[in-house]
Amino acid sequence: MSTEATASEISSSPPRLGGLAIVLGVLTAVLGILVMVWPGQTLLIIAVLFGLQLLFVGAFRIMVAVTTRAAPNWWRGLVGVLGGLTVVAGIICFVRPGTSLLVIAILIAAGWLVDGVTSIVSGVVDNWAGLQRVAQIVFGVISILAAIVVLIWPSTSLLLMTSVGGALLVVLGVAIIVVALVVRRTTNRPARAA
């Protein structure tokens, strides 16, 4: 959510919603502070929510496999087995949340690794101008290095990313409050003049 979008939403809304925007900003900033103060607990909550989501998805797949009569038996069996495996993965997230966090870290690192390789290949193969080519390759190298760091130190990397995310929430919360106050002040100014 950008500050400009927030400003236009607040300015086009009734005056009461400006107060709600301030409350939203305060809650966002408080959430950011809590995430920064307790990054480990935040990650555990994420792991548990991830496990809960896997349980629901697995149960849904099993239900689809059991209730869908029109589908071929092999398809229903495959969906049922995938549903069962998904439920088991969800239970593992509850019993061993650290394992699910490790999986999340590996997925993040894999994404960054793919981005890095793609960027380097694009910088070398595509018809970029000089500085754009260098930027593509540098971005690719940084992305690959970040992926390697996350793979070597997954726990520390996740804690750092969580703390950075908390700091961004604080900044976003303060920005929402400032925009709401500015819009409220400029909206009330013409009313006072009248």
Interval 72-122: pLDDT, tens: 888 889 889 999 998 988 888 888 888 888 888 888 899 899 989 998 988
Mean per-residue pLDDT, 143-164: 91
> Are 138 and 169 within 8 A, CB to CB?
no
> Are 97 and 51 within 8 A, CB to CB?
yes
Sequence-ordered list of residues with C-beta below 8 angstroms from that of 142, at least 6 positions apart, any chain: 116
Query: What's the whole-model pTM score?
Result: 0.63
**Based on the number of CB atoms within 10 Å of its own CB, is 136 exposed (0-12), middle (13-18) or buried (19 or more)?**
buried
Q: Flag whether pLDDT at 17 surpasses 90.
A: no
